[in-house]
Amino acid sequence: MAKVAVVLSGCGVYDGAEINEAVLTLLSLEQQGATYQCFAPDREQMHVINHLTGEPVAGETRNALVEAARIARGDIKALSALNPGEFDALLVPGGFGAAKNLCDFAVAGDQMSVQDDFLSVARGFHQANKPIGLICIAPVMAAAICGAGAQCTIGNDTEVAAAIDAMGAQHLQCPVTEARVDVGNKLVTTPAYMLAGSVSEAYAGISDCVKEVLALS
């Protein structure tokens, strides 16, 4: 039975992990016979967004680990405790938290940098030849993790696809219900809410992503 590390980036599509994507990832893992442990960085998230208005909340701060614990029902550990040697694969749901709290793509675009703690963990999986699944916007980190030429998808967003190519990865078109597999890098990606218009559409692609990750583990 595969044991998978799931890295969350807060709680909420605009400033943390996309909740539907996170839950569907955990559901798919259970349905496909894997076990998992959730992790998140123990630091303040970039900012707090009012999810009713879409506007930043002045003067409010939240901790990404504390917020992600809402999704994991408290069963979560700090990212610093994640040892790739104890797991068979890594999965990273999307949401703007992936582009704000795991890296700074949301503000820096193709000049982004990945947070050192997450990059060290993700590269640890890659260097150990263990599969990695990146969901939604998370594939913008593909080249940083797997190196130049890594193949990934965010669906068909031309601007983000161009940024991915500029950073040294190769973007692949992909419908919402599917995933794309870079066999050489053991990297699996799916668009999820980069394209999804419903929970069921997101589920189809995420389930396929999980299936492919587990097949490579």
CA distance 45 to 101: 6
pLDDT digits (tens, 9 = 90+) for 139-157: 999 999 999 999 999 999 9
CA distance 119 to 182: 19
- Give the mean pLDDT of 55-59: 92
The answer to whether the Cα torsion of 7, 190, 124, 166 is positive or negative is negative
- 136 catalytic per annotation: yes
What is the predicted pLDDT for the residue at 201? Answer: 98
CA distance 169 to 211: 23
What is the predicted pLDDT for the residue at 32? Answer: 98
DSSP state of 48: -
pLDDT digits (tens, 9 = 90+) for 14-45: 999 999 999 999 999 999 999 999 999 999 99
- Is the pTM above the cut of 0.85? yes
Catalytic residue among 136, 146, 152, 209: 136
- Give the mean pLDDT of 75-88: 98
Q: Residue with structure tokens 């943390």?
A: 16
Structure tokens given for 58: 């002045």
What domains sit in the chain, N to C, each tagged with a CATH number? Answer: 3-216 (3.40.50.880)
